[in-house]
């Protein structure tokens, strides 16, 4: 049986302490710049804050993982190297990386640190995962959210490292690390700037007939009737028309969030070593609720007790749920 | 010899599900008429399509090589199924023609034997390019979203290491790939049961916002830009910073004519205004874009203040 570590989001120092206190085995965070894929205003850590956070977490036996999981554009790699040096100095337990140049820098300069392969590296096959393990000494892969549980089980048998799987939160549709949709409409890049559908480009417009449209950089991503709740304009969750689809439809995915709580026992059985909760941009109270509920569920499963999943379903604030690609190939 | 004389024009792999017959006709014409130096072949987007056109590959390769073109085989951008892993391993085992790798699974299979790095490999910076060079890469195609200032730094680093450097200068930009087939989804189907509906959209399936702006194109698991990237005005800058290969992506326009426009521009046989007008005439109503190059929203077309 895998250890089933619980990896929890820490968008701010306060959220980090909350997640630690609620029972996280590890928390993950980033610096206040383009070196991580949640480079949102008001989020993330200064080096001083991270230093304090590491002390706090370690005192309670919780590991701290640092996301350095974006792709430095040529000419700007020093920012990523400085972040790596700072993190190594502060005693970060593992670094989550995607770019080969960044991974190579760690392997050369900080060979003692532990590397995890970010979902942003899009390693979805045993061969790709082995590449990063053998070349950079990666110890854990965060799998893209595109494999079924039987496929994960098979991958586990063919790789020399641990598997971390997302289990809750935002449901990424595109192969992460290969998506330029936001850059195409806004000029800010997910890979290079750590930005996805940035709030600064978001606008909601109320129309005369009472309907509401959500826009990103002036482009209408979705339109909501009087009886619908307006959602955030993420490009891959929008409604569009096609030549044979005159009524706008969710061309990529409906605005659903991932919830694998019912599949936890199967994921453990498949050999998933760590469960990742998405949501560095979420509130402290959200983090507290989600981490507590999953802590209880994982402890129950590990002790052979039936886990109460109702708590977890209730956490999603009425949003629609999916088990995404994990349950069936029909998702594809 | 002027630097521009050495700049190579390439034709990227067909990203769409064109029929075997259409592909044969297309490459016959490319072989006979198109002033391109190098041609990339192979299925990059969907492994289900490969059986339709792979049997023709040996003949197509021979045809293009007889015409003096260098042929390179491109690997799948996404590898998750057994058959995709096998296709990648088989490609990586080849000695000739050259291969272009688009997924780390291919790098793993290739080891340190020579290969080209494809645009899906995320070679964003000089450190990554240096790493790739040490692993046997001889050529790197930069990501479509990389801005000009980063291209300049990346190209210099690559040239210093002896690598060739390629940038897409024409055609729809790849914006995303997914495990899910959005073509199948639009027809209420799944990827396993797609019935190859993507064959109906030879230049991709347009997606429009509800207020009728066409912004994206669906091509199976891939999402592309609605606009065609057009870096005709930027090509002198690309050449001057060391970019050695200019890539044209096949679209459903007269690609021989497109290649001639870019060739003439490289050879300075046309002025920029004429070249722009010629390309516009070939491509019709489609919008051109160069926003990524200028560090702005990709769909934008930025006028060059210093165009000469």
DSSP B135-148: TTEEEEEPPTT--H
Task: List the single residue in A with minimal CA-CA distance to B184.
Answer: A332
Interface A:B, Cβ pairs < 8 A: 232
Residues A301-317: tens digit of each pLDDT: 888 888 877 767 666 65
> Distance (Å) from the C-alpha of residue B15 to the closest C-alpha of chain A?
16
Reply yes or no on whether the pLDDT at B5 is more than 70. no
pLDDT band at residue B2, thresholds of 50, 70 and 90?
A: very low
- 3 state DSSP class of A245: strand
Cα separation, A240 vs A221, in Å, equals 8
Q: Which residues pair with A130 in a beta bridge?
A: none
CA contacts within 13 A on the Cβ side of B172: 28
pLDDT digits (tens, 9 = 90+) for A28-56: 999 999 999 999 999 999 999 999 999 99
Listed by number, the residues of chain A in 94-133 with a beta carbon closer than 8 Å to a beta carbon of chain B are: 98-102, 104-105, 121-128, 130-132
Q: Which of residues 268-307 of A touch B (CB under 8 A)?
A: none
Quote the pLDDT of residue B33.
98
Q: Which one of B175, B182, B203, B221 makes the best mutation probe of the A interface by having the most chain A beta carbons within 10 Å? A: B175
- Show which of residues 232-261 on chain A sit within 8 Å of chain B, judged by CB atoms: 236, 238-245, 248-249, 251-253
ω into B97 cis (within 30 of 0)? yes
Is the predicted pLDDT of residue A5 greater than 60, yes or no? yes
Asked if residue A63 has pLDDT above 80, the reply is yes
Mutate to test the interface with A, among B115, B188, B210 (most CBs of A within 10 A): B210
| pLDDT per residue as tens digits for the range A114-129 | 999 999 999 999 999 9
Smallest CA-to-CA distance from A65 within A74, A76, A54 is with A54
**Measured on CA atoms in the order A290, A291, A292, A293, is the torsion positive or negative?**
positive
The distance of B13 to chain A (nearest Cα, Å) reads 18
Chain A hits for B147, Cβ within 8 Å = 73
pLDDT-derived band of residue B63, with 50, 70 and 90 as boundaries? very high
**pLDDT tens-place string over residues B224-279:** 999 999 999 999 999 999 999 999 999 999 999 999 999 999 999 888 899 999 99
Nearest to B207 among A126, A144, A242 (CB): A242
Burial class (CB in 10 A: 0-12, 13-18, 19+), A171: buried
Q: Give CA–CA dist A109/A129, Å, rounded.
A: 22
Asked if B190 lies within 8 A of A147 by C-beta distance, the reply is no
Give the CA distances from residue B188 to residues A171, A245, B195, B222, in Å, rounded to whole numbers and listed in that order.
20, 11, 11, 17
Its pTM stands at 0.96
Q: Do A71 and B296 touch (CB under 8 A)?
A: no
Please tell me which of the candidates B88, B128, B174 has its beta carbon nearest to residue A101: B128
Give CA–CA dist A128/A140, Å, rounded: 13
Residues 1..60 of A with a Cβ closer than 8 Å to B: which? none
Q: Do A73 and B150 touch (CB under 8 A)?
A: yes
Residue A212, H or E segment: strand A212-216
pLDDT at A321 over 90: no
CB distance B146–A74 less than 8 Å? Answer: yes
Query: Strand B214-219 vs strand B222-230: parallel, antiparallel, or unpaired?
Result: antiparallel
CA-based nearest residue to B175, from A122, A191, A146:
A191
Residue A149: what pLDDT?
A: 94
pLDDT at B307: 44
**B180:A173 CB<8 A:** yes
């Amino acid at each position: 049986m895998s250890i089933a570590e619980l990896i929890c989001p820490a968008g701010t120092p306060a959220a980090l302490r909350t997640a630690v206190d609620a029972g996280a085995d590890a928390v993950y965070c980033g610096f206040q710049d383009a070196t991580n894929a949640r480079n949102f205003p008001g989020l993330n850590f200064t080096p001083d804050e991270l230093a304090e956070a590491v002390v706090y977490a370690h005192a309670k036996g919780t590991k701290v993982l640092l996301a350095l999981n974006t792709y430095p554009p040529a000419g700007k790699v020093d920012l990523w190297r400085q972040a790596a040096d700072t993190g190594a100095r502060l005693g970060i337990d593992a670094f989550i990386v995607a770019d080969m140049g960044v991974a190579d820098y760690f392997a050369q300069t900080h060979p003692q640190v532990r590397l995890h392969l970010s979902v942003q590296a899009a390693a979805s096959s045993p061969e790709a995962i082995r590449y990063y393990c053998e070349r950079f000494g990666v110890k854990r892969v965060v799998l893209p959210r595109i494999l079924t549980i039987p496929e994960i089980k098979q991958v586990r048998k063919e790789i020399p490292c641990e598997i971390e799987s997302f289990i809750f939160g935002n449901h990424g549709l595109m192969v992460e690390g290969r998506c330029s949709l936001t850059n195409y409409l806004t000029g800010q890049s997910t890979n290079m700037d750590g930005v996805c559908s940035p709030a600064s480009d978001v606008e909601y417009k109320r129309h005369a007939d009472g309907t509401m449209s959500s826009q990103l950089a002036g482009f209408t991503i979705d339109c909501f009737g009087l009886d619908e709740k307006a959602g955030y304009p993420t490009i891959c969750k929008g409604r569009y028309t096609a030549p044979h689809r005159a009524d706008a439809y969710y061309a990529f995915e409906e605005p659903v969030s991932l919830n694998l709580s019912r599949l936890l026992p199967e994921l453990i059985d498949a050999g998933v070593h760590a469960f990742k909760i998405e949501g560095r941009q979420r509130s402290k109270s959200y983090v507290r609720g989600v981490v507590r509920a999953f802590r209880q569920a994982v402890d129950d499963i590990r002790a052979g007790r039936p886990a109460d999943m109702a708590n977890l379903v209730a956490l999603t604030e009425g949003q629609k749920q999916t088990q995404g690609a994990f349950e069936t190939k029909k998702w594809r | 010899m002027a630097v521009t004389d050495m700049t190579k024009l390439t034709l990227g792999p067909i990203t769409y599900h064109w029929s075997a017959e259409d592909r044969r006709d297309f490459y016959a014409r490319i072989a006979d008429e198109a002033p391109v130096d190098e041609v990339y072949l192979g299925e990059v987007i969907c492994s289900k399509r490969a059986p339709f056109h792979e049997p023709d590959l040996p003949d197509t390769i021979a045809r293009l090589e007889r015409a003096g073109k260098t042929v390179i085989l491109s690997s799948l951008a996404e590898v998750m199924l057994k058959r995709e892993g096998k296709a990648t391993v088989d490609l990586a085992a080849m000695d000739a023609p050259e291969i272009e790798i688009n997924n780390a699974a291919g790098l793993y299979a290739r080891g340190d034997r020579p290969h080209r790095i494809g645009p899906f490999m995320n070679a964003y910076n000089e450190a990554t390019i240096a790493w790739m060079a040490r692993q046997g890469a001889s050529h790197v195609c930069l990501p479509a979203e990389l801005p000009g200032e980063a291209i300049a730094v990346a190209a210099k680093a690559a040239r210093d290491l002896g690598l060739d450097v390629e940038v897409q200068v024409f055609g729809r930009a790849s914006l995303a790939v997914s495990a899910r087939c959005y073509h199948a989804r639009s027809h209420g189907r799944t990827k396993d049961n797609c019935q190859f509906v993507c064959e109906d959209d030879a230049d991709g399936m347009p997606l429009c916002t509800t207020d009728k702006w066409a912004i994206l194109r669906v091509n199976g698991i891939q999402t592309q830009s609605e606009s065609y990237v057009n870096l005709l005005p930027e090509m002198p800058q690309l050449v001057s910073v060391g970019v050695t290969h200019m890539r044209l992506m096949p679209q459903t326009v007269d690609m021989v004519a497109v290649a001639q426009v870019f060739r003439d521009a490289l050879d300075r046989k046309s002025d920029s205004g004429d070249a722009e007008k010629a390309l516009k005439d070939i491509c019709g109503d489609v919008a051109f874009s160069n926003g990524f190059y200028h560090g702005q929203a990709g769909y934008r077309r930025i006028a060059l203040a210093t165009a000469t």
